[in-house]
Structure formats: structure tokens, C-alpha cells
Structure 1
Amino acid sequence: MQPSSTSTLPILADSKEAVNDVSTTRSVRPPFTCPLPVAVEPVMFLSMFSLALQAPLVTQYLWDRISEDLGYNGSKRSECSNSSVPLDPLQKEVETLTAHWNLYINLWGFSLGLFMVPFLGSWSDLAGRRPVLILPNLGLALQAGVYLVVMYLKLPVVYFLVGRLLSGLSGDFNTILAGCFAYMADTSNRRSRTFKMAVLEACLGLSGMLASIIGGQWRQAQGYINPFWLVLATNLASALYAYLFVRESVLPDPSAKLFTTRHHKAIWHLYSTGGSSSSEDSGRFHRCKLWLYTLCFFLVVAVHSGSRELFVLYELSSPLCWGPTLIGYGSAAQHLSYLSSLLGLRVMQYCLEDSWVALVALASNFIGLVVFSVADTTQLMFTGYGLSFLLMAVTPVIRSKLSKLVDPSEQGALFAAVACVESLCYLAGSGVFNSLYPATRHFMKGFTFIFAALILFIPAGIIW
């Protein structure tokens, strides 16, 4: 193909998608053919529901276990929210230990996932998308099972690392993200891809919002164990749905091997040459855009993930001293931004290009973080959540722009790379923010949120 034939690219992309649709119909079908339209969104919804249900509960469980071990019960005292009362030294120790254990657990899981995601994501270009939707859900179910054993037997929290080991070896949640977004790229055209990606992001938000509301109320009423049984059941349901109903979107190669250097080479080729669809003249341009958009994605998601981990810790301690119900509502308000971002993206696409949509979303995120940094009342905290109503509109724009830069046969390798970057985001965000928060809270409790807001100037400048 000559470089001047750019007008034929969308047609070729659509034709390749059509070939994929035909081939899967004649080769690989799920065991049960549903007469209704079956999509990949329920896999994303169920997997995210289980993750959003357990994440705040794990932090609260760590807080309660560490508080019990240290003999601290300050969150139950009436003077907790009284700023004139000197800070209990035990509270600072509980906060520090909880943040550090969050860091250790996340480092362990994300490090293993970072090793496995390139194998599974790039392998899906050859073996199909369905396996990478099933295996990680089974691993997450095993993780929930280990957490239940720890809670039933009141084992030391170090055993949480065993659950993260099993989840990481199966690819963790980031492999599900890679599989779902690659599946969506397989089955969408270039014009609708940004909105389709936003729909998947909205599934994350809707499931997270429901899980947060349910988790807060349920934990207050019945403790931790029963909600984690639902986490286990939801992961199994997601794996079962993908196995029974999701139709394959690529033609599987039965001889495709999982553990081979070919998958890593495919990702390296993508970022070193700009993709198979790039000509020699445009290769450097595509390569530059791939690296810059990936850098933007890294910084944005690192800020999102790092600050999100601190919200529960920030809300548990004084002067807010939230209980499980308010923490659930706060997490629900945070996940509501996925839906408001989807609506805002759809409206803004009528009058703005995607890059401008991303800049508006970054501005919303910046303002919200600044408000969080000074929030000392419940009303101000929820004001920050409200001002961040567009923060999730930037990531589907970046995913869509990345997807449009590569050939349809390289979508799995691309989103495997994006998933690896996402793992690094969680790793970097967890490490930096969970370390920075206890180190700076003595002079400004919200300094970490100010730091996160300043980082957003870098992706905004690149996109500009």
C-alpha cells in the first residue's frame, strides 16, 4: 500500500473486521449459542464489580486488623473529628502500616501480572480473545478464596500475598482489560471506536458504583466475610459467561504457544517500527505518537490509581472519620464519574475533537484533586467528587487513538502493551502515593493530591 492511499485505510480495517466475523462463525462458537445479542461488556462489568467490591473492604480490613493488634480504637471516639484534639500517635502508626501493607500487596500482585500480561495479551492475537477473558477471572476467584480463608481463620495479613500470587500468575484484572478492549477493537470501526471504548469504561464505573454502595452497607451489617463470598461468585460468573456466550472475534491458531519470546517480540516490533501497517516514511511518525500517547496514558492512570487508593485511608482518618456507609457512598460517587464521563464525551464529540475532550477531562480531574487536598468536611469531599465528573473521559480517547495507529492483527499486542503500562501505573501509583502520603501528612495531609494534580500538566501539554 502506498502512503498516499490513506483514504482506503478505514475500508480495509472494516473489511478485516468483517473477515474476522465470518471466520469465527465457521470455526469457534461458544458451547451455548444465545439468541440475543451477546457482547463482551458483561465480562468487564462482572470482573470490575468484584474488584470494586473487594478493594475498599481490603483496606478497611487491614485498618481494623492493624488497629486491633495495636489496641487503637480512635475512629470510634467522638473526638475523632475534633481538630482541636491532638492527633493520637497510634492513629498515625495505623495509617502508616495500612498504607505500607497496601503497597506490599499491590507490588506483589502487579509485579507478577506485569510478567504474565505480555504473554496472554499478545497470545490472544493467535489463540483468540476468550481464553484471556476466562483465565484471569479464575485467578481472581482463587484470590478471593484465599482472602476468605485468612478472614475465617484470622491469619496474619501477610497471607493476603498468597492470593495476590495466584491472581498475578493468571494475568490479574489487567489481562481482562486487555482482552475486553482488544475484543472491542476487533468488532468496531474507526469512527465509533472512541465511544465504544468509553462504553467499556462506563461498565467499569457502573459496576464499581453498585459494588461500592452494596459493599459499604453490607460490611456494616454483616462484616467482611459475606461480601467476599459474592466476590468469589462474581468472578466465577464472569468466567462462565465468557466461556458459554462470548463469540470469538479472531480466528484461533491451534498451534499458538503461550510461553514463547514471540509475544514479547511482537510488542517490541510494534513500538520500534510503528506497527505493520506503517510505511517506512510514516513509521517514525507512528512510533513517536505511540510512545507519546503511551506516556500520557501512564501518567493519567498512575494519578487515577494512586490517588484512588488513598481516598479510603484519607476518609477513615481525622478530621473526616468516615464509617463504612459513607466510604461506600464516596466510592460510589467516584465511580459515578465513569457514567458522567461517558455522557460528557458523547456530548462533547458533537462539537469538539477527541483531543479537546481529553483536555477538558484533565481539567476536571485537576480541579477535583485540588479540592480533595483541602477537604476537611464531608460536604467538601463530595464537592471534589462532583467536580471530577469528567475525569474518566481522557482514557478512552487515548485508547482509541492508540488502537487506530496499529493494524487490526496487532490489537492484542497493543492492548497487552497498554495493560503492561497499566500494571506499571498501578505499581508506580501505589508505590509513590502510599509512600508519599505518610511522609507528608505531618505538614499537609492533602499534599499528595496536590502532587497528583501537578503531574496532570505533563499529559495535558503533550496532548495540546
Structure 2
Amino acid sequence: MPMPGLQEPHSPASGPGPGPGRGRCRVPGARLTVEPLVFLSMLALVLQAPLSTQYIFQRISSELGFSGNRSRGCNKSQGSQAQLEKDVETLTSHWNLYINVGGFAVGLFSATLLGPWSDRVGRRPILILPGIGLALQAAVYLIVMYEELPVRFLLIGRLLSGLLGDFNTILAGCFSYIADISDKPSRTFRVAVLEACLGMAGMFGSIIGGQWSKAQGYIIPFWLVLALNVATVIYAFVFIKESVTVKRPGKLLTMEHYRAVYRLYSSGQETGRRHRLCLYALSLFIVVTVHFGVKDILILFELSSPLCWRSDQIGYGSAVEHLTYLSSLLALKMMQYCLGDSWIAEVGLLSNMAGLVTFSVAATSTVMFTGHGMFMDVVPIKRADLDVAVLSTGALFASVACVESACSLVSTLVFSSLYPATLHFMKGFTFLFGAALLLIPAGIIG
């Protein structure tokens, strides 16, 4: 959707004029490019996240002597068992916090380096390096599981992944690649197609992971995680063509990359454009922070009473939620004929808030599945707005990667700390907190 004061720069096809479009490879049509890369990487992530959380939950339960309460019909635990359940949830939440904060903190700095660097050397290197890091992380997790090492050793794999860019770098790199090769009229839909790839991968990965872990535990499915991450590296190396056609030598370890991101928000453009960029970034930051934060605690909420879901039920719930990525793509395409992007985003935020409120009061599986099905994905719209505001440069890549890495870091710090702290008075309070936060981007967009 065209925004006042945010006109598209001249592309190479329109003339030799200067602008950020120089050196980009514009590809007409909807040719398959980074979509399989997003699918494979997301499939690995969706398999890994619940498996690792359930593994930590199981290990801590075993160490503390908590046998679970599913055998008692999953009623609320009483006495010592109730306290043990809270201790297990608290420790699992804290270990998720420590592991994720370590990875996200490292990834925040590495993504900032890789973004502007890719503007000089090309996009392919920063699509390959994070895949290597994620493969190393999966290998470390397998070693910890097979050798039954202390849970803290999982942090080593997480740090390796963050050092090489992490999943957020792959994701931001793919969106930046699409911005390189597409024009403004097709960009929102192509970004939504990438989001749909995330949804399809999430849906299949949730079902596969839930059923597989129910049948064979948590270790064997992790071999598929490793294989998928290796496959993303191979695909990026063999099949992705470079979208930056004019390459220049550039150093990776230099403060100039951080200064480029700072200048993006502080100077070098009209005041109106800079303000809109800051507002778009803030909206995206809050929406993705709530999304990531809810993901961090949702599995713990489902594992414990009063739901006590099994791994296959967790998989089905996640599959229903990821199915909304596909329904969001269809709804986005249909609503674009009669509504502007901002109105579509408002509708999506309203559905997200309704889903979070439903989670907060869920005491049965039916209500929980209903909450999963309420979400509509609004991230493609805000990504597209941010793409236009940043004008598709290397700073775009660094900016989006930084925003999402910061979201991951802040969401883990806030939600994984708030959840155990509020268990004693309202287990679903954290979901209500997330719904309240979404009022901020709703007001900004309005």
C-alpha cells in the first residue's frame, strides 16, 4: 500500500538514476527463489523448539521426582505434588530463559554485522552461515541427549547458532532477498507467500514432531532437525542465485556496520520518512515480541494442569495455529481488494488479542484449540511497510534482523520471567499481558 512520503526509489529497469535500487537484480513474476529455504529452515525450527522444551521439562521432572498428574485425570495437583509441578514449570521456564537469552544476545550483534556486509559481498553468504550454525546447534543438542549431560550444556549449541546469525538472520535475509528481486506492487504478496511457507512448515512440523516424539521420544526426531538444517545449507549454496549483482570487498568485523544501522534511524532522510520508519519498526517489534514470548511459555502451559497435553496434542495445537498463516494469506489477498493494509493489520491484531484472551482462560482442550485458531498473521504487512521505508538496502537487512533478534531477546526476558512469577495467582495472566501490549501497535497503526 503506498504510504505518504514513502515513494519507491528508481530501479535499474527504470533508468540509470542513482538510488538504493542500483546493483539489485529485479526478477519479474513469481519465480521460486528462497521459498524452499524458508520452508526447510522453519520446519527444522518447529520440530526443535517443542522437542527441546519437552526434553528440559522431562529432565527436570525426573531430577525433582515429579511424576506428573495425567494418571490422576489431570486435575489440579494438591499438596507436595502441586509445589513440585510449580517448581518444574519455574525451572524449565528459567532454563529456556538462560539458553535463549544467550543465543539471542549473541545473534543481535552478529545480525547487525552480517546485514551491511551482505550489501557488499552479496546475500548468499548470510543465507548459508546461519544454516551452518543451526546444524551445529542440533548436533550439540543430540550429544547432550545421548550422553544425558546437564541441561546447561544446551547453551553451547545455542551460542554457536547465535554467533553465526541464527534463524532470524535467515528469515530477514530471505525477506531482504525478496525485496531485492521484486517491485513494490508485488512485494506485499510475495512477503505474504514467505509467511505462508512458514505456516506450511509449521503445520507439517508440528504434526510430525508431535506424533514422532509420542512414538519414539525426543532424541530420534532431532536427527531430522539436523538433516533439515544441513539441507538448507546445501540448497542455499547450490540453488540460490545472487541478488546483489555489483559486489564490493567489505570487512565483516567493523563498527561501520553498526553506524549504518544507527544512521538509518537518525539521519540521512526526510523527517517524515524517518518517523514512519521508527513507527513501523516499533509496531513490528511489539507484535513479534508478543508472538515470540507466547511461543516460549505456551508449551509449558499445555504440558501442566489443567490441560496436561501429550506431545501429539501439542503438535496438533501448533499445527492449527500455523494453519492460520495460510488462511491469513488468503484473507490478505481478498481484503486487499476492499481495504488498505493498515485496516487489514488492525483486523489481524484484533484476532491476535482475542486468541490470547482465550488462552488466558483455557481450562479444556476445546477452548485451547479455539484460541490457536483465532490468530491472523499481520507481520507480512508490517514487513512490507518496513521494506519500503528502508528502501531495500543492506541497512534493511540489518534493521529487520536487529528488530527480530531484539524481539527474541526481550520476549524471552519478559515472558519467561513473568510466567513463573504469576503462577500463584493466575496462570494465564501472561497471555492477558500480551493482549494488552498489542493495543500499542493497534494505536500506532490507527
Task: Name the TM-score class by shorter chain.
Answer: over 0.9
Q: State whether structure 2 residue 388 is matched by structure 1 residue 404.
A: yes
Deviates more, 1:182-191 or 1:87-96: 87-96
Structure 1 residues 379, 424: closer, same or farther in 2, change over 3 A? same
State the Cα deviation string for residues 85-132 of structure 1 (Å, max 9, x = none): 566211110000000000000000000001100111111111100001
Shift of 1:83: 4.0
Name structure 2 gaps, 5 residues minimum: 15-19
Measured in 1, the distance between the counterparts of 2:12 and 2:65 equals 62
State the Cα deviation string for residues 138-179 of structure 1 (Å, max 9, x = none): 010000000000001000010001101110110111110121
Q: Which residue matches 1:357?
A: 344
Q: Is the 8 A contact 2:6 2:273 kept in 1?
A: no
TM norm structure 1: 0.90
Q: Is the 8 A contact 2:123 2:177 kept in 1?
A: yes
Q: State whether structure 2 residue 395 is matched by structure 1 residue 413.
A: yes
What letter matches 1:407 in structure 2?
L
Structure 1 residues 203, 252: closer, same or farther in 2, change over 3 A? same
Structure 1 residues 9, 372: closer, same or farther in 2, change over 3 A? closer
Q: Which residue matches 1:443?
A: 425
Q: Is the 8 A contact 1:74 1:88 kept in 2?
A: no
Q: State whether structure 2 residue 25 is matched by structure 1 residue 21.
A: yes
Give runs of aligned pairs for residues 388-403 of structure 1, distance below 5 A: 388=375, 390=376, 392=377, 394-403=378-387
Q: Is the 8 A contact 2:42 2:202 kept in 1?
A: yes
Measured in 2, the distance between the counterparts of 1:18 and 1:258 equals 22
Shift of 1:14: 5.4
Measured in 1, the distance between the counterparts of 2:205 and 2:180 equals 29
State the Cα deviation string for residues 278-302 of structure 1 (Å, max 9, x = none): 4xxxx10011011111111111111
State the Cα deviation string for residues 290-340 of structure 1 (Å, max 9, x = none): 111111111111100001111110000000000011011011112112111
SS of equivalent to 2:442: helix
What letter matches 1:430 in structure 2?
T
Measured in 2, the distance between the counterparts of 1:75 and 1:237 equals 40
Measured in 1, the distance between the counterparts of 2:380 and 2:300 equals 28
Give runs of aligned pairs for residues 204-243 of structure 1, distance below 5 A: 204-243=198-237
Name structure 1 gaps, 5 residues minimum: 1-5, 25-35
Q: Is the 8 A contact 1:10 1:190 kept in 2?
A: no
Q: Which residue matches 1:82?
A: 75
Shift of 1:407: 3.0
Q: Is the 8 A contact 1:50 1:230 kept in 2?
A: yes
What letter matches 1:238 in structure 2?
T
Structure 1 residues 58, 84: closer, same or farther in 2, change over 3 A? closer
Measured in 2, the distance between the counterparts of 1:359 and 1:327 equals 29
SS of equivalent to 1:358: helix
SS of equivalent to 1:224: coil
Q: Is the 8 A contact 1:122 1:263 kept in 2?
A: yes
Measured in 2, the distance between the counterparts of 1:293 and 1:301 equals 12
Measured in 1, the distance between the counterparts of 2:23 and 2:398 equals 23
Measured in 2, the distance between the counterparts of 1:9 and 1:178 equals 20
Measured in 2, the distance between the counterparts of 1:415 and 1:44 equals 16
Q: Specify which of 91, 105, 111 is matched with residue 111 of structure 1.
A: 105
Shift of 1:402: 1.2
Q: Which residue matches 1:370?
A: 357
SS of equivalent to 1:387: coil
Identity of aligned residues (%): 58
Give runs of aligned pairs for residues 196-345 of structure 1, distance below 5 A: 196-273=190-267, 278=269, 283-345=270-332
Structure 1 residues 264, 19: closer, same or farther in 2, change over 3 A? closer
Q: Which residue matches 1:193?
A: 187
Structure 1 residues 120, 385: closer, same or farther in 2, change over 3 A? same
Q: Is the 8 A contact 2:277 2:390 kept in 1?
A: no
State the Cα deviation string for residues 173-220 of structure 1 (Å, max 9, x = none): 111012101100001111111111111111111111111100011011
SS of equivalent to 1:185: helix
Measured in 2, the distance between the counterparts of 1:297 and 1:453 equals 15
Structure 1 residues 260, 19: closer, same or farther in 2, change over 3 A? closer
Aligned residues: 435
SS of equivalent to 1:74: coil
Measured in 2, the distance between the counterparts of 1:171 and 1:383 equals 35
Measured in 2, the distance between the counterparts of 1:160 and 1:352 equals 46
RMSD, aligned CA: 2.0
Measured in 1, the distance between the counterparts of 2:22 and 2:165 equals 29
Structure 1 residues 202, 7: closer, same or farther in 2, change over 3 A? closer
Give runs of aligned pairs for residues 421-432 of structure 1, distance below 5 A: 421-432=403-414
Measured in 1, the distance between the counterparts of 2:200 and 2:86 equals 34
Measured in 2, the distance between the counterparts of 1:160 and 1:226 equals 17
What letter matches 2:379 in structure 1?
T
